[in-house]
Chains A and B, each alone.
Chain A
Amino acid sequence: MALLEVQGLTAGYGIVQVLFGLDFSVDAGEAVVILGANGSGKTTTLRAVSGMIAAGGAVRFDGRSVRGMRPDRLVAAGVSHVPQGRGTISDLTVDENLRAGAYSRRDRGIAADIEHWYSVFPRLGERRDQAAGSMSGGEQQMLAIARAFMSRPRLVLLDEPSLGLAPLVTREVFDRVGDLVRDTGTAVLVVEQNANLALAFASRAYVLEAGRIVNQGSSDELRGDESIRQAYLGS
């Protein structure tokens, strides 16, 4: 059984429908990408899954329906969402952002977890008392990812991590998230338009166009697909 199972997902803003019945799934510990160009509905998909906007269809996490669940409850249930633009809480320090990431937890391991993430991302440790908003885009992306893991999720939703980052930094972000999937066994669903990096990172991919899934398969299959090559890989 899939960890996240989405069937017939519909969503929109006001009278404008953006998603027209999406089916996709993520298995435990799996890295999956939804590829799509600007305006195809990538961000809307993640927002619908995490309960930030009203959605139709079925969203099941770990076998139980989570559609319409409040975002903070969903975090407690095991799903973390790194929003578009990273969503660091800019007035809080790096340390406070990580503590905020553990808000849903009641256990005593929080301080140890924060130290763990400082060892994974040493740059965050150096800047622990600095306001998050004053850091570079790449550092903020690392912070957002570490913060998402602070709730000890089983699934992380990652919204276009490449946005606004230099190519080298983007590559580093994907490398680090790939390490995390392997090391922690946490599943990651990433939406991206950078197909090269995303397909190298994920084991499976869906292609989203104008609110519909038009193609899917393993990353290797899709890398070889002629239409994908033309639309996303520039060759």
Chain B
Amino acid sequence: MDQFTINIIFVGGSFMLYVAIAIWARAGTTSEFYAAGRGVNPVVNGAATAADWMSAASFISMAGLIAFVGYDNSTFLMGWTGGYVLLALLLAPYLRKFGRYTVPEFIGDRFYSQTARMVAVISLLVMSITYVIGQMAGAGVAFSRFLEVDATTGLIIAAAVVFAYAVLGGMKGITYTQLAQYCVLITAYTIPAVFISLQLTNNPIPPLGLFSTHVESGMPLLAKLDEIVQELGFRDYTSNHGSMLNMTLFTISLMIGTAGLPHVIIRFFTVPKVSDARWSAGWALVFIALLYLTAPAVGAMARLNIMTTIYPDGTDSQPISYEERPDWMRTWEQTGLLAFEDKNNDGLIQYYNDASPEFAAIAAERGWEGNEMVRFNNDILVLANPEIAQLPGWVIGLIAAGGLAAALSTAAGLLLAISSAVSHDLIKSTINPNISEKGELLAARISMAGAIVVATYLGANPPGFAAQVVALAFGLAASSLFPAIMMGIFSKKMNTAGAVTGMLVGLGSTLLYIFTYLGWFFIPGTNMLENVPANWLFGISPLSFGAVGAALNFIAAYVVMNMTKEPPEEIQELVESIRVPRGAGSAQSH
């Protein structure tokens, strides 16, 4: 059986499973559509949250990001997991006790203000729509690589599948498909990692393999990697090369950004009890950690593998010739994500850091005229892993299904956050408060369908700023929603004026800082300052500014709160009531 047929079987099989779940888990009420009837087991919700959270970026890109940068990109590992501690301790149990359906609804009710609710709706829509574009585009790429259809056709197939389970099942359908998607993606990620770890270190557990001995050289794996990359003029893998302040702020931005993402928060509305919300955050992190502990091992091992593939007899000897390159390189060259150029016409592949002045003399002495692996896209690393480790064809099919599961599960979660904001926060609360339960459910389904159409269109025609959007989403979540929700719970005296000012200051300062360096609305050429570390305020990169925006939000809110009237008695009682678990019960009808 050829690889194409195997890929079709795996991807097609997983899609049929998702659609079958959708038919089984149809939503009949708004409570089921928005919050899966609040009947989801906390462990199941943990796995669904993990799939919801781990996007194409986690599955496909993260190992590559770590592999080619090393220690400095540990920020992604700490940032994207540390947010769950904030969720479990500061947000999830209280929001579950509050017992409503959307994040803007909490902000609107707690700050007794339609304005506050609308500011929250706008932040939610901007961050979720930008985020979903990346997921749809990622699904399109996975389709075109593995199923040999063009990206747009792939995208439409993916959209049709999401349509089936998200529109029919709402949160209920999404939850159980995400559970299935988690199983698919974690299996796909782990199997090649286990084999690579076994090959390099004899240890079947990749996170342990990362810190054990490299069998071939007898040295610790990371020491071997440091040695080999430095011999070729690259920066060593395990030391710190960037600014510590910037690293710290970037990590904090990712942490609070994670805790403030609405599509993650609403997952905690689906569990039956307040105590379940706490447990569920823990289970979510366990399931996420299975991938996040494996990713740095995959990164380091794959980087070492590539080095030793190109220099089989050590870096002092000749590299392999272009004609004898392994098959996986041939396959990926066809996608354009990997490219070689024989600069000195010797038929061999010289791979080294030609930007290093220290290495220039050695390169000149050897007759090297520049790095000849001219392109190696980070995303290849995970997708080509089974081929690099020479695993059978079915593992490649599994990786294809896993990548799509990661992209689709996140897309579905985001689409639900978008559609519930439209149907519940805009239509039900603002345009037509007298809408019936049936009417609202229909409105929710239509909003979901609309959101899918918009996301598919934008995924097929991504705006120029697609690469920047994830940073924007995290910056916005960190600087606007997280502080507002946290103050709503932990400060009884926080009032409308304080919360609204805080959100606007956090949002405004973060957008301003990002646009200053990346261009107004990401239009190239409109940036006021060149995006280089020398221009950054105190060396803080635009991607790390969310933490500063959040701090400004807190400060502005407190200053304004102290100058304005304290909230009414019933709001202060509301805060008292969400602080204790007793009386959570099921969804309130309103």
Do A and B truly interact? Answer: no
